[in-house]
């Protein structure tokens, strides 16, 4: 598909080559000199859900063969921004791959999907017509001057959307106008290592760490504060080290070394944390309009483990329903809560107090206590009730005994 003649006067010349392979296509981004900076050949499937008048509905759809590269794609501007590929299809849906590099490797630093719920062909009977945006880091990476190749399916989880890439060939920072013959294969395509039967690795015991420091976090948007939270955060990460031993390490999020970011939308509140150990820790809070409740619906973690067999550790779960309270109220729990994200990751939350979406005057609303705190309160109440009952029984027994004793001295 040729670019319009006016594009020659633009900084970038962008075009989509009409090389179709079933449901996949080759997407190319070129600079003003006609040199390709990004080439990508893949098919993609999307899985998400949306709200209808009769409840939530799941939907799956594929990247169509008539998808096009938008002029908003870019070859980057020196160190200011990395190259990006923006693919559009349907009624306002876009899939964006943003790249970054160091001296030896490049990677898809961020994948973003924008979808339009007013597209009745994909989202029939949607109760909302808004445009939604989700994004996530990825594990798509390759050596410089080599092609990223992944025949296996690769899933990228972005809030309530899962994008599955099939038979992907991607390269950025090209040195010519074609894919390199040298490849970096994805982890899924690599053969599994042959196990060594004589030695059975045993999980290393996790050390007992200090409790993490409690910090205050808030996220604000155009309409004011949408998230107010105080909590201490602790990560429990299980992985295989270079000696093929399963180990579990505990990381406390240090508030003094943590950068905080976030965003507010009508139905999703996002808190992003980065520190010296964690590349990205994301909390997504959703809401149920029917029950008028907010809740933690997803946790994403992306971090580097230098002693791991695969140093890049990623985990996500978008099916959580934790830290839940009525919209306008706050959720509080003094007890430690353990949130299981995957088999390899759990997040311990200490002394949490959180309120999402409706936050008035940057102050917490009415408190809804967690079940753990209510149970802890019931223990002293039950013990106190039992002791009071015991004292009452002793007192009654004493009075009865005293009455009988006086009855023995009556005059005959």
Average pLDDT by consecutive 10-residue portion of the chain (412 residues)?
A: 38 35 72 91 91 85 93 83 92 94 91 94 92 89 94 85 91 91 89 55 54 92 92 94 90 90 92 84 92 93 88 91 94 92 94 94 91 59 70 80 60 46
pLDDT of the residue at 393: 84
Backbone φ and ψ of 256, nearest 5°: -75, -15
Q: Is the dihedral of CA 185, 191, 194, 195 positive or negative?
A: positive
pLDDT of the residue at 22: 37
Question: Which one-letter DSSP state was computed for residue 4?
Answer: P
Assigned token pair, 319: 């099916």
pLDDT of the residue at 21: 35
Inter-residue contact 281 to 300 (CB < 8 Å): yes
State how far the Cα of 27 lies from the Cα of 170, in Å rounded to an integer: 9
pLDDT of the residue at 412: 43
Helix or strand run (H / E) with residue 255: none
Inter-residue contact 333 to 352 (CB < 8 Å): yes
Inter-residue contact 297 to 318 (CB < 8 Å): yes
Assigned token pair, 397: 């027994």
Residue 164: name the closest of 319, 16, 345, 23 by CA. Answer: 23
pLDDT of the residue at 2: 38
What is the per-residue burial (b if ≥16 Cβ within 10 Å, else e) of 180-199? beebbbbeeeeeeeeeeeee
pLDDT of the residue at 380: 62
């Amino acid at each position: 598909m040729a670019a319009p003649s006016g594009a020659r006067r633009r900084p970038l010349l962008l075009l989509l080559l009409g090389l179709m392979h079933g449901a996949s296509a080759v997407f190319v981004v070129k600079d003003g000199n006609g040199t390709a900076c990004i080439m990508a050949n893949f098919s993609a499937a999307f899985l998400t859900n949306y709200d209808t008048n009769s409840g939530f509905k799941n939907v799956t759809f594929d990247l169509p063969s008539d998808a096009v590269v938008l002029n908003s794609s870019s070859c980057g501007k020196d160190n200011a921004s990395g190259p990006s590929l923006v693919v559009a299809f349907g009624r306002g849906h876009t899939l964006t791959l943003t790249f970054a590099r160091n001296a030896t490797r490049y990677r898809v630093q961020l994948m973003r999907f924008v979808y339009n719920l007013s597209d009745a062909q994909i989202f029939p009977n949607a109760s909302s017509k808004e445009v939604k945006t989700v994004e996530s880091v990825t594990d798509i990476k390759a050596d410089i001057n080599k092609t990223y190749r992944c025949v296996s399916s690769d899933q990228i989880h972005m809030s309530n959307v899962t994008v599955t890439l099939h038979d992907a060939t991607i390269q950025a920072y090209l040195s010519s106008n074609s894919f390199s013959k040298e490849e970096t294969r994805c982890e899924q395509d690599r053969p599994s290592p042959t196990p060594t039967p004589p030695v059975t690795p045993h999980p290393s015991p996790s050390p007992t760490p200090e409790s993490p420091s409690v910090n205050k976090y808030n996220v604000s948007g155009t309409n004011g504060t949408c998230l107010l939270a105080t909590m201490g955060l602790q990560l429990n990460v299980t992985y295989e080290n270079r000696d093929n031993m399963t180990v579990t390490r505990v990381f406390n999020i240090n508030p003094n070394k943590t950068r905080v970011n976030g965003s507010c939308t009508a139905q999703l509140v996002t808190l992003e944390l980065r520190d010296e150990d964690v590349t990205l820790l994301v909390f997504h809070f959703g809401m149920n309009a029917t029950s008028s409740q907010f809740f933690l619906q997803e946790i994403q973690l992306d971090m580097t483990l230098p002693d791991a067999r695969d140093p890049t550790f990623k985990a996500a779960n978008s099916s959580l329903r934790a830290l839940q309270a009525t919209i306008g109220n706050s959720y509080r729990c003094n007890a430690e809560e353990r949130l299981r994200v995957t088999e390899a990751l759990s997040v311990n939350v200490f002394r949490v107090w959180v309120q999402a979406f409706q936050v008035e005057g940057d102050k917490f609303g009415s408190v809804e206590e967690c079940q753990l705190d209510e149970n802890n309160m019931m223990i002293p109440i039950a013990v106190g009730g039992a002791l009071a009952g015991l004292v009452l029984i002793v007192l009654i027994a004493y009075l009865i005994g005293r009455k009988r004793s006086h009855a023995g001295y009556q005059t005959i």
